[in-house]
Structures are given as C-alpha cells and as structure tokens.
Amino acid sequence: MHEDWTDGAVCRTADPDELFVQGAAQNQAKSVCGSCGVRTECLAYALDQRIDHGIWGGMTERERRALLKRRPLVTSWRRLLEAARQEHHRQTGPAAVRRAG
Ligand code: SF4
C-alpha cells in the first residue's frame, strides 16, 4: 500500500539496508530521520502497523516496542501524534509568540 507521506521521505533515495541495521549502527541510522519532514507520519505508520523491524520515524524496533507496551490503549498513533504536533505548533507557532509578546 502506498502512503502519500512517503513522497517526502528523506531516506527515499537512501540504501534501504542503512535503515535496517543492528546494534550501534542504529544510532547513526536514526540521525537520517532528524531532518525528515515526514517523521511523524512515518513513526505513526510503523506503530499503527506494528512494524517490528528497522528504523522508522527515528525510533528503533526496540524503542517502538517499549512505547507500544507503555501505551497499550492507543488505537491510532497517527491521530495521537498528529494532535500532539498541532498542539505543539499552537503553543510555539507565530500566533503563540504574538500572544506572549
Ligand atoms: S523518518 Fe526516517 S525512516 Fe521515516 S521516512 Fe523519514 S528518514 Fe525515512
């Protein structure tokens, strides 16, 4: 299934093997995600689909497993992460700065 967010993936042109590494190499692989504009969508997809291998949205499979275990009642990570992102923008965006100033 094609997800439209994949068009904006920084790793789209990278070697897929770079994101499916083990051990210490995962930290370097995660750094690719730092500048990715679709990180939230990517992470939400991996969590909602229970993808259990590779780096997605800057998190390793182990980190995602731990997150899923901590929040077993979340039914849509996409909805949850999107709401969190909107709230963050509301608090830190230009309108929030104007209100604070
Ligand atoms: S967050 Fe990382 S794994 Fe996901 S699309 Fe972006 S670069 Fe690729």
pLDDT tens, 74-87?
A: 999 999 999 999 99
C-alpha–C-alpha distance, residues 3 and 41, integer Å: 9
Ligand 1 atom with minimal separation from the 46 CA? 4
- The ranges assigned to domains in the chain are 4-100
Tell me: the pLDDT tens digits for 50-66? 999 999 999 999 999 99
> Is 18 labelled as part of a ligand binding site?
no
Q: 3-state DSSP helix/strand/coil percent for the chain, to nearest 5?
A: 65, 0, 30
- Cβ–ligand 1 distance for 56 under 6 Å, the answer yes
- Cβ–ligand 1 distance for 44 under 6 Å, the answer no
> Could you tell me the pTM of the whole model?
0.85
Closest CA to 52 of 41, 42, 63: 63
> Is 11 labelled as part of a ligand binding site?
yes
